[in-house]
Amino acid sequence: MQNYIGVLPIGWLAFGGLLTLIGGTFPHLRRGIPILSLSVALFGALGSFYLAATYPHPRSSFLGMIWGGGLYSFISGFIAVVGMLALLFLWRHLQQNKDKDWEIFPLSLILMAALATLPASNHLLLSVVALETVSLGAYALVGLSWDNRYAPEAAVKYFLLGAIGFAFLLFGLSYLYGLTGSLYFHHLWAMKWEAWAEHPLFALGMGLIGIGLLFKLAVFPFHWWAPDAYGGATPAAAGWIVALGKLNGAFLAGILLHYILIPQQWLSALAGIAAVSSLYGNLLAIRQDNLQRMLGYSSVAHGGYLLLALVSGPEGRLQAWAYSLLYALTSVIAFGLLSLREEPLEYKSLRGLGYQEPGYAAALALSFASLSGMPPLVGFFAKYGVFVAGFRAGHFIAASVALIGALMGYFAYWRPISWLYQRGKALTLKMPILAIGAILLLLIGVLPLMVWGWMDYLYGIAGFFLARP
pLDDT tens, the chain, 469 aa long:
456 777 888 888 888 888 888 887 887 777 788 888 888 889 988 988 888 888 888 887 887 788 887 888 888 888 999 988 888 888 876 666 655 677 888 888 999 999 989 888 888 888 889 998 988 888 888 877 666 677 777 788 888 888 888 889 888 888 888 888 888 887 887 777 776 777 788 888 888 988 888 988 889 888 777 777 877 777 778 888 888 888 888 888 888 888 888 888 888 888 899 999 988 888 888 887 778 788 888 888 888 998 998 888 888 888 888 888 888 888 888 888 887 776 556 777 777 777 777 777 778 888 888 888 777 777 777 888 888 888 888 888 888 888 888 888 888 888 788 777 776 444 444 444 445 555 555 555 555 555 656 666 676 666 655 555 5
Please tell me the distance from the alpha carbon of residue 55 to that of residue 49, in angstroms, as a whole number. Answer: 10
pLDDT by residue (tens digit) across 371-394? Answer: 887 777 777 778 888 888 888 888
Return d(Cα 152, Cα 75) in angstroms, integer.
32
Q: Cα(60)–Cα(68) distance, rounded to whole angstroms? A: 6
DSSP 101-168: TTTHHHHHHHHHHHHHHHHHB-BHHHHHHHHHHHHHHHHHHHHH--SSTTHHHHHHHHHHHHHHHHHH
66 three-class SS? strand
Cis peptide leading into residue 56 (ω within 30°): no
As to burial, measured by CB atoms within 10 angstroms (0-12 exposed, 13-18 middle, 19+ buried), residue 387 is buried
- Residue 432's contacts (CB-CB under 8 Å, 6 or more residues apart) are none
pLDDT one-digit tens code per residue, 120-178: 888 888 888 999 898 888 888 887 766 667 777 778 888 888 888 888 988 888 888 88
Closest CA to 131 of 162, 95, 155: 162
Residue of 70, 66, 44 lying closest to 454 (CA atoms): 70
Q: Is the CB of residue 224 less than 8 Å from the CB of residue 161?
A: yes
Measuring CA to CA, which residue among 461, 451, 454, 467 is closest to residue 58? 461
Angstrom distances, CA of residue 61 to CA of 123, 127, 240, 460: 11, 15, 29, 20
Nearest Cα residue to 109 out of 20, 226, 6, 199: 20
pLDDT of residue 469: 54
Rounded to 5, what percent of the chain is helix, strand, coil? 75, 0, 20
pLDDT of residue 373: 79
Nearest to 307 by CA among 188, 390, 372: 390
CA distances from 431 to 348, 404, 428 (A): 21, 37, 10
Task: Report angle CA 75, 320, 362 to the nearest 5 degrees.
Answer: 80
Yes or no: say if 336 and 291 are a contact pair by the CB < 8 Å rule.
no
Angle, helices 434-446 vs 70-96, to 10°: value is 160
Count CB atoms within 10 A of the CB of residue 287: 10
What is the separation of C-alpha 457 from the centre of its chain, rounded to a whole number of angstroms? 22
In angstroms, how far apart are the furthest CA atoms of the chain?
A: 67
